[in-house]
Amino acid sequence: MATALILLAAGKGTRMQSDLPKVLHEIGNAPLLHHAMQSAAAISPTRSVVVTGHGAEAVKAAAQIYDPEVDVVLQTEQLGTAHAVEQARTALAGFEGDAIVLFGDTPFIQPETLEAMLEARTKYAVVVLGFEAADPARYGRLVTQGDTLERIVEYNEASDEERAITLCNSGVIAADCNVLFELLSEVGNDNAAGEYYLTDIPELAHKRGLTAGVVRCDEAETLGINSRAELAQAEGIFQTQMRRKAMEDGVALQAPETVQFSADTVLGRDSVIEPNVVFAPGVTVETGARIRAFSHLEGCHVARGAVVGPYARLRPGTELSEDVKIGNFVELKNATLAEGAKVNHLSYIGDAQIGASSNIGAGTITCNYDGVLKHQTEIGARVFVGSNTMLVAPVKLGDDAMTASGSVITRDVPATDLAVARARQENKSGFAVKLFEKLKAIKAKRQKDGS
């Protein structure tokens, strides 16, 4: 059956103390909104509607980055959750199938939980996601009779008996789309806040002779993000989940608690990740590669058998082929290294192509930026670049070429040639001692004069 996703993302998030819309705060370097959309992706929604409010244009842009086909609607006034869902009515006009309502600030709902809710829809007209709370606090309570959900009671309106219930409301709800909007038409705002709440839906369903049921999940799935402290807590949960999954998939994490993941990090089986490695967005590491300690990777691809680090930085656009070696204090940006190439020490390689089995000596720099434009350096196969070589782009080094240490290369080097580009050395006899004596005299005079 077709399924529509209605994702509520209109909240300002006052407690975040931020100008950024709440759903655009990040865990794992991805907006909370994307995490919620990723959860829903597992049920393959036929239609997706994101309801925006505060910071609507920014939220819309973020939603469309994840799914260009998403419908985005605006809730001009925040008048409660039922009112927010109501804004999706026009976008889903004529839709036949189930609708499931999620929240953009709740990033940990698991795909199997949503699948269980849709499965429960074969038995109930309305399905609500509930959880057993260790500390029910001020959550709404789910009042059940056997397997049937009778109603949802807000804490402020609950009796002592109802407050003793530990089965709490997550806010997530599923129903036939047409039924959901029919019931929304009956939701009133006769409450202290004067708002329209989704929590009225189960009771309204019963008045129509429809059934309502509960699917239970772990409390951790329902964590909503409302403050910086909760955001930090969510980041910790996310990192723990990613580390566990990586190890379950066959990745060796030598010190798991020190490795930082992004939401889209991909690590191949039998890859080895040493301590204090940071994976920023857009990183893929293939089977058998090794990322050594204190390295930072972003927007790059590392092929099997490659070794990176320690203390290496791979920036966006970096592509390492099989068995490439990148050593300590090396920075790469928008660089492609062919099989077996090596950049082992203290170098910057940017906007460059390096051929197979080439060796880049310590202290090499591709001078790729002239202050306005970026320029390319092309290095062929089996090239040996001597230590402390400056490659002033645009420049090409042919296969089997070589540069002498300390050279500044400003012209192309043909294949098999040796390029020497440095000033002639001259030794001034005895000049070092004379120069130091002169400098010491100047220093002594300044100290005497108090200058």
Active site residues: 345
Buried b (16+ CB within 10 A) or exposed e, 4-25: bbbbbbbbebeebeeeebbbbb
Strands 167-176, 126-132: pairing kind: antiparallel
User: Residue 271 and residue 247: Cα distance in Å, rounded?
Assistant: 10
Report how far residue 282's alpha carbon sits from residue 271's, in angstroms, rounded to the nearest whole number: 17
Residue given tokens 């306005």 in the structure block:
372
Q: Is the dihedral of CA 218, 222, 226, 230 positive or negative?
A: positive
CB distance 78 to 53 below 8 Å:
yes
Closest of 28, 19, 21 to residue 259, by C-alpha: 28
Distance set, CA 195 to CA 38, 183, 190 (Å): 29, 16, 8
Strands 272-273 and 284-285: unpaired
Q: Dihedral (C-alpha) 304, 305, 309, 312: value to the nearest 10 degrees?
A: -30
| Residue 285 contacts residue 268 (beta carbons within 8 Å) | yes
Q: What is the DSSP string of 368-411?
A: -B-SS-B--EEE-TT-EEPTT-EEESSEEE-TT-EE-TT-EE-S
Burial class from Cβ neighbours inside 10 Å (0-12, 13-18, 19+) for residue 432 reads exposed
